[in-house]
Amino acid sequence: MKLLAARLHHLELPLVSPFTTSFMTQTHKRCFLVEMELETTDGTVVTGWGENVALDRPFYSPEHLDGSAEVVARWLVPELVAAGEITAETVHHHLRRVIGNPMAKASVEMAVLDAQLRSEGKSFASYLGAVSSAVPSGVSVGIQDSVAQTVRVVGGYIDEGYARIKLKIQPGADIEHVAAVRREFGDELLFQVDANAAYTLVDAAHLRRLDEYGLLLIEQPLGEADLRQHAELAKQMSTPICLDESIDSAETAADAISLGSAAVINIKPGRVGGYLEARRIHDIARAHGIAVWCGGMLETGIGRAANAALAALPGFTLPGDISGSDRFYALDITTEPIRMHDGVVDVPAGPGFGIEVDPDRVAEFRTALVEIQL
């Protein structure tokens, strides 16, 4: 395929309620969609959509939204133009001169992949080799102001039917909240926590207190660069350690596994540079007996649909942060929102990512439209 046009739709969507992590509170989601037109070898023009998941501040990873958009427009799209003939499978290679910026690369690869699969009439799930038609749906619960509020909010999601609860924690909002949720909802609840790098190895004795609550895992307790320290922490507590921020490629996944830093990996396609790298991490982890699950970045229906297909690979043995669109948004930008029912999200079966972008909704939430000059 050959790239004919690329445009960025910058969006701002209000969240149904503020989302607080150890690193920031969000009330709105800013992101951009990558829309590409490509010409196939038989001369057909096909459109593909990607979603950029960078947060508007560099508080989760070094990348931030405006920088990521600049990298796409100034460095990544020109590399694809220079490459001439491209396929989804060669995008990663064509972009190799650009260091880092995985979320920018992922959004570009997504658009090419969606277009390619649409031109072939093939779903992303069948392209990947998905083995299930629905995936268990977990929900990520932000840090609340009080223990009582945590119990109320978690109870609401359990009533909706979510299959697993992930609670954000930070120093000062951890053990008591976890204890209260476990006491209120019982031992059967699939329950895990995410610290977003808020602790240090000095907190090991404190974190060990979580061991009595039967958590599925603790996600990213320590800093993103602390692979050795996570391995050290793993020796000091029985709750399985899961890495999120630390894993930015198949290579860091291999390092973390061999160092004993992670018993579980949260795979986020944006964080690792795309869905094809995400699949490589799934393959490596599976070969090592390391469980994986699909993380989320408050995606719109585009990323949410793609994540559901990825999570249908056989190594995704834990429920992902793949909730219904309505967990974050009253209105999504796809013609049909992603729905959670009976604790699962259906894996889209249509061509490409299997959703249709709603142009009116995109226009409603759009703050800027940038046509990239090729």
Q: Are 17 and 370 in contact (CB under 8 A)?
A: no
Residue nearer to ligand OSB on the CB measure, 79 or 321: 321
Active-site choice (105, 166, 168, 235): 168
Q: Residue 302 Cβ, how far from Mg ion at the closest point, in Å?
A: 20
CA distance 327 to 321: 11
DSSP per-residue codes, 306-346: HHHHHTTSTTB-S-BS---GGGT-SS-SBSS---EETTEEE
Q: For the stretch 238-248, what's the b/e string if a residue is b when 16 or more beta carbons lie within 10 angstroms of its beta carbon?
A: ebbbbbbbbbb
DSSP state of 212: G
Binding site for Mg ion (CB under 5 A): 194, 219, 244
Whether residue 105 lies in the annotated active site: no
CB-based closest residue to ligand OSB: 296
Which positions ≥6 away from 80 have C-beta within 8 Å? 3, 86, 91, 94, 95, 108, 112
Binding string, 321-340, against ligand OSB, x = CB under 6 A?
Answer: x-x-----------------
Asked if residue 307 binds ligand OSB (CB under 6 A), the reply is no
Residue nearer to Mg ion on the CB measure, 31 or 111: 31
Whether residue 2 lies in the annotated active site: no
Q: Residue 92 Cβ, how far from ligand OSB at the closest point, in Å?
A: 23
Q: Which residue has the tokens 């223990």?
A: 147
Active-site choice (29, 105, 166, 268): 268
Q: Are 33 and 358 in contact (CB under 8 A)?
A: no
Tokens of 133: 């038609």
Q: Residue 298 Cβ, how far from ligand OSB at the closest point, in Å?
A: 5
Binding string, 111-140, against ligand OSB, x = CB under 6 A?
Answer: -----------------------------x
Residue nearer to ligand OSB on the CB measure, 48 or 221: 221
By a kind-dependent CB cut-off of 5 to 8 A, residue 296 interacts, out of Mg ion, ligand OSB, none, with ligand OSB
Task: Name which of residues 62 to 121 contact ligand OSB (CB under 6 A).
Answer: none
CA distance 297 to 307: 10
User: Which of residues 244, 277, 332, 346 is near ligand OSB by CB under 6 A?
Assistant: 244
Q: Are 237 and 288 in contact (CB under 8 A)?
A: no
Task: Name which of residues 136 to 165 contact ligand OSB (CB under 6 A).
Answer: 140
Asked if residue 295 binds ligand OSB (CB under 6 A), the reply is yes
Q: Are 230 and 218 in contact (CB under 8 A)?
A: no
Binding string, 167-196, against ligand OSB, x = CB under 6 A?
Answer: ---------------------------x-x
Residue nearer to Mg ion on the CB measure, 109 or 219: 219
For the chain, the straight-line distance linking the first and the last C-alpha, in angstroms and rounded, comes to 15
Q: Could you give the angle at which helices 102-120 and 275-287 cross, rounded to 10 degrees?
A: 100
List contacts with ligand OSB (CB under 6 A).
Answer: 60, 140, 194, 196, 244, 295-298, 321, 323
Residues annotated catalytic, as ranges: 168, 268
